Structure 1
Amino acid sequence: MRVLLSAYACAPGRGSEPGLGWGWATALVEAGHETHVLTRRRWRTEIESALAGVPRAGLHFHYHDLPSWLDVCFRALGGPGKRLRYCLWQVAARGRVRSLGSAVRFDVAQHVTFAQFWSPCALTEAARLGVPFIWGPVGGGETEPAAFWPGLGMRAALWEAARWLLHRASPWLPWARATAAACRLAVAATPETAECLVRLGARRVIVRSQVALETDRLEVLASLAGTVPQAAPASVIFLGDLLPHKGARLALEAVAGLSCAWRLDIIGDGPDRAWLERRAVRLGIAGKVVFHGRLPQDAAWRLMAAGRVLLLPALHDSGGFAVAEAMAAGVPPVCLALGGPGAMAAEGGIAVPAPGPAEAVRGLTQALRSLIEEPARWQALSLLARGNARDRFGWPAAIGAVHGATGLGIGQPDGLAENGP
């Protein structure tokens, strides 16, 4: 089959959105499908270097971008400028989709990055040409409970309020409704996003995590898995950017309530770091909290695999690569029952209800205590996490779940829902 893949972000050897774009492209080719990828020129050098080292027959890249002078304007706007550039790129890329569709007879078109359901999508043009169109996995339907906003700081709270308003308005966004009407299959990264896609009018929706790991990565992580850790203090791992919505503030509060011997290893960096360091001092736990900053991937994996538990109480997140990686290494994750990390933790860890900050912190502390003080429970969840990581988060499983649900002959459907999540 010939697949047209829209991957605004796509680069080898990277995480997050660029890694997802590259992962979908290479996984489809390895599954035997000729794949044409439409992406930005920004990634061209990295892509061509990777293909020069490891040629991949059947994998073709097509580059499209906005005029370079617009980048000055986008950079001046900061974060909103990045989102505006993405939306304008999607609109401008429709002409390129038409030209590609005229030159190549595609069997299916799929949008994979960025993962936000409320933006325009260039592949609606492929649907107009009669090509079955898969929208996703997409996220962005996750919202942070308003009870948590006061603890984020003024700027972050205002941003969360703006996100909430966007979600409320999304059913009336004409470009989002047009994408929902055009797609043969809408793939939601989280149950929250599935509800948004249904409200937009998508006729067929499945829920499938956007997270997928390469076979060699799964094997490396599995090789790091050990038996029940006996060393004291027990190492609790936080792995992620230090941003308000990632939940490191809640992680400090949760470990402060533990009476057993523990140490919190924070892997990552970001604008919240100085505040978190001061907060650890005020809580009287500064001597037990280690800020490692950003580490090379191998070093981060080794430290994570030696931990007792991954603590990642993100307040809204569509994905959760750290959760999948921890599960593959046999480290049970503890997350809030929100968004992608919460859904993943339910398959090999503990997802804590989060009606408000106080309840969330108490639940996180109890979950940590159980995994530190009850070796049998830790062992059971560790084995469950490793099995689910292997079965659920490999690329063959992702392709089978998404493309199998279209009925076009790739893989098997997983979690299909007609007219609803």
Structure 2
Amino acid sequence: MVRVLAIAEAANPEWVSVPLVGWSLASALRQVADVHIVTQVRNRDAFLRAGMVEGEDFTAIDSEALSRPMWKLAEKLRMGEGKGWTMVQALNALSYPHFERLVWKRFGDEIESGQWDIVHRITPLSPTISSSLAGRCAKAGVPFVLGPLNGGVPWPKGFEAERRAEKEWLSYIRSAYKLLPGRGTTLRHAAAILAGSYHTASEIPAEHQGKTLYIPENGIDPVRFNRIAAPSGVLRGAFVGRLVPYKGCDMLLSAAEPLLQSGKLELEIIGDGPMRPALEAQAKGLPGVTFHGWKAHEEVQETLARCHLLTFPSIREFGGGVVLEAMALGVVPLIVDYAGPGELVHPDWGVKVPCGSRQEIVRDFRAALQDLAGDPAALEQMAEAARARVQSHFLWSRKAEQVRHVYDWVLGGKAAPKPDFFD
């Protein structure tokens, strides 16, 4: 079996977002290859609780001497919980190289002596963070696989207020990362580059497109999402996410107001954040709106499975994992056709509205909700198609098989994946 050293600095089964992606892909790959996971020491206890054996299944690298103070600095500079994500990534780009130096110190001799067939850096997902391991692995003759990479989706026009509210000052100069030392050598020495979105794939220089493959970053663990939605009664939609400006919950409430007033729609708002007081004030007097607050990841499906729709007008999602989670349950997504969600949703299993101005999104969301409320029977076939799409393409086990194909390709044992590799 192929021996893989999987680098996943952010990987944690008890967290969400990037750490959950890192954990899910790295652990799924253990079903198709002989994988040893290298992660940061902050994840050690969660790995042990998940049944992993330290030294055998994983190694925890202690880079806290630099990463901890840099994280604290990022928390101060981002000026608010959950804000300033570009700032966090910029500081991570400064501290992460120390982690890779420690990885090489621990595993460099083993890589050079041929004890590993593949080195695969799964996280960080950000394409702005280069890798010193890429060149070292190439020099040792060991293929280095990079990705999935994802991030940096441009802010759509007309949402400057939301951009400022998110403290995304660095996003105006984000493209400068392409000039940073190390990016060119990282891409040049990588044997394969996995792009988690079409936008990220488009940012890879032309000379490396031949080894760039599109595999969306998110997947589904059928153990975590194992319900089948069984909604009944009036049309019910769910919003799942942080209550922050770019997620668009305020646009959802504006779009839904006439249907809520007439009793033709109910909304379940799952999540918390700085906009909650304003959203609750906006919803005051509107029947059929329930704010659930924050729920543990495993509890979300209990509420979501009672809904017909995921009503999610976010205008800047890199991956859109919540869309897949809804689809896995048979909850039809209603989303803005932009970035991650736009790539995941097809008219056969979801509804997309164009990414226009705030007023246009509210108008189009309202029209879609009115159509679905008038003909809810159309949702049944879409729900079945959504579940089928997840089963065929987005289970972590399926994605591990796709990555194994990439391993075989870079090792010379299988033909290059076709451009429509994922589809």
- Matched position secondary structure for 2:199: helix
- 1:358 Cα deviation after fit: 1.9
Range moving further from structure 2, 403-412 or 3-12: 403-412
**C-alpha deviations, 1:135-177, integer Å up to 9, x for none?**
2111113122121223x27433x51x6314313x343233333
Q: Distance in 2 between matches of 1:30 and 1:295?
A: 30
The yes-or-no answer on 1:197 pairing with 2:233 is: no
- Matched position secondary structure for 2:242: coil
- Partner of residue 81, structure 2: none
Aligned ranges for residues 314-325 of structure 1 at < 5 Å? 314-325=314-325
Aligned ranges for residues 82-93 of structure 1 at < 5 Å? 82-93=88-99
The yes-or-no answer on 1:96 pairing with 2:96 is: no
Measured at CA, do residues 276 and 46 of structure 1 come closer, stay the same or move farther in structure 2, by a change above 3 Å? same
Which of the residues 275, 279, 292 maps onto 1:276? 279
- Matched position secondary structure for 2:204: helix
- Partner of residue 127, structure 2: 117
- Partner of residue 116, structure 2: 106
Range moving further from structure 2, 97-106 or 327-336: 97-106
**C-alpha deviations, 1:92-129, integer Å up to 9, x for none?**
13323433131242211222223211122343243343
Q: Distance in 1 between matches of 2:404 and 2:179?
A: 29
Q: Distance in 1 between matches of 2:76 and 2:97?
A: 21
The yes-or-no answer on 1:45 pairing with 2:49 is: no
Measured at CA, do residues 265 and 209 of structure 1 come closer, stay the same or move farther in structure 2, by a change above 3 Å? same
Aligned-pair identity in percent equals 26
For 2:69, the aligned partner's letter is L
RMSD, matched Cα: 2.9
Range moving further from structure 2, 389-398 or 341-350: 341-350
**C-alpha deviations, 1:266-299, integer Å up to 9, x for none?**
1000112122223334xx63x3321110123443
For 1:155, the aligned partner's letter is A
Counterpart contact for 1:314–1:335, Cα < 8 Å: yes
Counterpart contact for 2:61–2:103, Cα < 8 Å: no
Measured at CA, do residues 38 and 58 of structure 1 come closer, stay the same or move farther in structure 2, by a change above 3 Å? closer
**C-alpha deviations, 1:10-43, integer Å up to 9, x for none?**
1223322222222122211122x22222221111
- Partner of residue 126, structure 1: 137
- 1:134 Cα deviation after fit: 1.7
- Matched position secondary structure for 1:291: strand
Measured at CA, do residues 126 and 243 of structure 1 come closer, stay the same or move farther in structure 2, by a change above 3 Å? farther
Measured at CA, do residues 214 and 359 of structure 1 come closer, stay the same or move farther in structure 2, by a change above 3 Å? same
TM-score by length of 1: 0.86
Q: Distance in 1 between matches of 2:16 and 2:100?
A: 27
Q: Distance in 1 between matches of 2:245 and 2:15?
A: 23
Measured at CA, do residues 349 and 414 of structure 1 come closer, stay the same or move farther in structure 2, by a change above 3 Å? farther
- 1:91 Cα deviation after fit: 1.2
- Partner of residue 360, structure 1: 361
Counterpart contact for 2:119–2:142, Cα < 8 Å: yes
- Matched position secondary structure for 1:387: helix
Counterpart contact for 1:34–1:59, Cα < 8 Å: no
Q: Distance in 2 between matches of 1:342 and 1:7?
A: 27
- Matched position secondary structure for 1:12: coil
Aligned ranges for residues 301-380 of structure 1 at < 5 Å? 301-346=301-346, 348-380=349-381
Measured at CA, do residues 67 and 262 of structure 1 come closer, stay the same or move farther in structure 2, by a change above 3 Å? same
- Partner of residue 65, structure 1: 63
TM-score by length of 2: 0.85
Q: How many residues align?
A: 403
Counterpart contact for 2:152–2:174, Cα < 8 Å: no
Measured at CA, do residues 144 and 76 of structure 1 come closer, stay the same or move farther in structure 2, by a change above 3 Å? closer
- Partner of residue 163, structure 1: 171
Unpaired runs of at least 5, structure 1: none
- Partner of residue 416, structure 1: 419
Counterpart contact for 2:110–2:116, Cα < 8 Å: no
Q: Distance in 2 between matches of 1:337 and 1:395?
A: 24
Counterpart contact for 1:177–1:201, Cα < 8 Å: no
- Partner of residue 5, structure 2: 4
Counterpart contact for 1:138–1:188, Cα < 8 Å: yes
Q: Distance in 1 between matches of 2:40 and 2:294?
A: 27
- Partner of residue 181, structure 1: 188
Measured at CA, do residues 412 and 8 of structure 1 come closer, stay the same or move farther in structure 2, by a change above 3 Å? farther
Q: Distance in 1 between matches of 2:418 and 2:351?
A: 21
Unpaired runs of at least 5, structure 2: 79-83
Q: Distance in 2 between matches of 1:310 and 1:355?
A: 20
Aligned ranges for residues 385-404 of structure 1 at < 5 Å? 385-404=386-405
Q: Distance in 2 between matches of 1:390 and 1:145?
A: 32
- Matched position secondary structure for 1:215: coil
Counterpart contact for 2:349–2:383, Cα < 8 Å: yes
Counterpart contact for 2:43–2:60, Cα < 8 Å: no
Measured at CA, do residues 62 and 353 of structure 1 come closer, stay the same or move farther in structure 2, by a change above 3 Å? same
Q: Distance in 1 between matches of 2:406 and 2:89?
A: 30
Measured at CA, do residues 141 and 413 of structure 1 come closer, stay the same or move farther in structure 2, by a change above 3 Å? farther
Counterpart contact for 1:75–1:81, Cα < 8 Å: no
For 2:233, the aligned partner's letter is A
